[in-house]
Chain A
Amino acid sequence: MISFENISVSYTGKRVVDGVTGGAKSGEFIALVGPNGSGKSTLLKAVAGLIKHEGTTSLPRNPRVRAKEISYLAQQNSAPKLRRVKDIIALGRTPYLGPLSKLSPDDELAIERAANICEIAELLNREFGTLSGGETMRVHLGRALATDAPILLADEPITALDPYYQISAMNILRQLANDGKVIIAALHDLDFAKRFADRIWVMNNGCLVENEPAEKALNAAILRDVFRITVNGEIVT
């Protein structure tokens, strides 16, 4: 469904992602975990084709074609405050629209479906600037889903949310995978990763150091060597 080989990214001479190879099948939910600065965001951006990188991916090279295959939810999202929620979600249909074309019935349907999945149907006519943090995240997720791409890359989608919205967002991602999409989400919460994902990829210093089913990936050695914590949640001294 998606595969990539030997992805490397360097910023000003420093290798931030170093020869990462991986792939995911349809219906698989991958949690991408690793300490701050381990290269999770950079890997996602490289796979999404947003930054210069070495290595190859299975995705189309043409940006407009690729945009239909993969949607990307950034870590930091913004949208104009005065814009209606529906218009923001509609931007997810950009790959299907010409510069002057209007939303087709297909587009409207995709927007409606995305809004229903994210439980924001009742917010569609609100101004974006009036939403709470949890609501804005769901709108951005809705925008990513409106593209209806088979692959979703999400960079720390739940980091700034309260527990209710964290769990509701994870439920949405899990359900999307159950419906056949590939979900690759960078996460910091290891318990969530274990509970919701099928596989866990662990990154450390730009390398993929572990790629195992969720229940096996976070063993004591990985926790100690990569995260510098113990299984009991203590800091390794």
Chain B
Amino acid sequence: MSLRLWLLLLLIVCLLAMGLSLFIGSTALSVDSVLSALLGNAAEDINSIIRDIRLPRAILAAAVGAGLGASGAALQGFTRNPLAAPGLLGFSACAALGAVLALYFNAGDWIMPAAIGFAMIGATAMTLFSRRKPGASGLVLAGIGIGALATAVTGLVMNLAPNPWALSELVYWLMGSLKNADMTDVAITVPLTLLGGVLLSLAGSALRVLGLGEDTAQSLGISVGRTQALVVVGCALCIGSGVAVAGAIGFVGLFIPHILRFLTGADEAWLIPLSALGGAGFLVLVDTLIRATAGPGTPLYLGIVTSLIGVPFFLWLAWRQA
């Protein structure tokens, strides 16, 4: 199957999943009422359910998943390391630290700018630490170190939480969820994710050449430093804006590119859009599944479910490849 066909297939899956998710929730709705609510012609409460709750949630799940998938594909391509992912290289940890600090200081409005800001600070720090010799080994070491620091400071903030309720708020937030998604989040996250995705895609053809090693790529006119900057800033935008609305969602950025590389045989450049669509579809489906299975009591958290589904599949893949 050609890669264009894969791209189209994943896009269709993604749109179908988003469509499906509009029907899932505590209120059962008919096709007619969902469609007319999308156009704003249904009863006010139905309009609100679709336009204020389910649609933004579906769009955000897609945007966050796309950002995670594209970031993972770009990082694996740049580092030529199958373990590289936004979670491992500190992007998620830095964004989460920003959000946790905002929560700690009771500044709910600041979660978004803090998460994005800290992701950018983390990205800048990674670039500075690997400045003497940009490239895979430098970025991996700097990323892991900065991620570990951010995780430690996040732990410190939780340690200093004034009371158990504040602590539980932080912990739940870190598990990742889209339950409070609204159109304001969409208006911020979607453009930032798109911008990040464009930067990552611009690095695509250079990532393909970097598969030959950094010296060889450089000899072919590729700038390793410029490619690293595109990848790092692109990831920071995607992950920062994603973590800001959905919390830390693990594993999508690691296993979606793997699965798609395995299934499609795509190179580093193609894998970025493919993983964006794959991640988007996957996260929408998981979020829909969570809502479909929601009963009374605490709903499942998105980040927990993505890992629970992703890990066995990933291990199966590792088993097959070994």
Q: Which A residues contact B (CB, under 8 angstroms)?
A: 45, 48-50, 63-67, 70-74, 76-80, 82-83, 87-88, 91-92, 94-95, 97, 99-100, 143, 147
Contacts and interface: CB of A to CB of B under 8 A. Distances in A.
B2 interface: no
A67 B211 contact: no
Given A99-B202, A99-B204, A79 B221 contact: no
Nearest to A78: B213
B261 interface: yes
B219 interface: yes
B219 A72 contact: yes
A94 B261 CA distance: 22
19 contacts: A49-B219, A50-B218, A63-B221, A67-B219, A70-B219, A72-B215, A72-B216, A74-B213, A74-B216, A74-B219, A76-B213, A77-B216, A78-B80, A91-B209, A94-B209, A95-B220, A95-B221, A97-B205, A100-B205
Interface string B188-208: 000000000000001011001
Interface residues of B, number: 21
Contacts of A76: 213
Given A74-B213, A79-B212, A87-B267, A63 B261 contact: no
B265 A67 contact: no
A66 B223 CA distance: 13
B208 A91 contact: yes
A64 B221 contact: yes
Given A91-B209, A94-B209, A80 B267 contact: yes
Contacts of A143: 212, 216
A48 B265 CA distance: 32
Contacts of B213: 74, 76-78
A70 B220 CA distance: 9
Given A63-B221, A63-B223, A95-B220, A50 B212 contact: no
Interface string B257-286: 000010001011000000000000000000
A65 B219 CA distance: 10
Nearest to A99: B205
Closest 6 CB pairs of A and B: A67-B221, A72-B219, A64-B221, A94-B220, A99-B205, A80-B211
B220 A67 contact: yes
Given A72-B216, A77-B216, A87-B267, 12 more contacts: A49-B218, A49-B219, A50-B215, A63-B218, A63-B222, A67-B220, A72-B219, A73-B216, A74-B216, A76-B213, A79-B211, A91-B208
A50 B220 CA distance: 10
Contacts of A72: 215-216, 219
Contacts of A63: 218, 221-223
A172 B160 CA distance: 69
Contact of B221 (A66, A73, A82): A66
Contacts of A80: 211, 267-268
Contacts of B202: 99
A113 to B, nearest CB: 18
B220 A147 contact: yes
A49 B205 CA distance: 21
Contacts of B222: 63, 94
Contact of B212 (A66, A91, A100, A147): A91
Contacts of A95: 220-221
A8 B5 CA distance: 52
A29 B12 CA distance: 56
Nearest to B213: A78
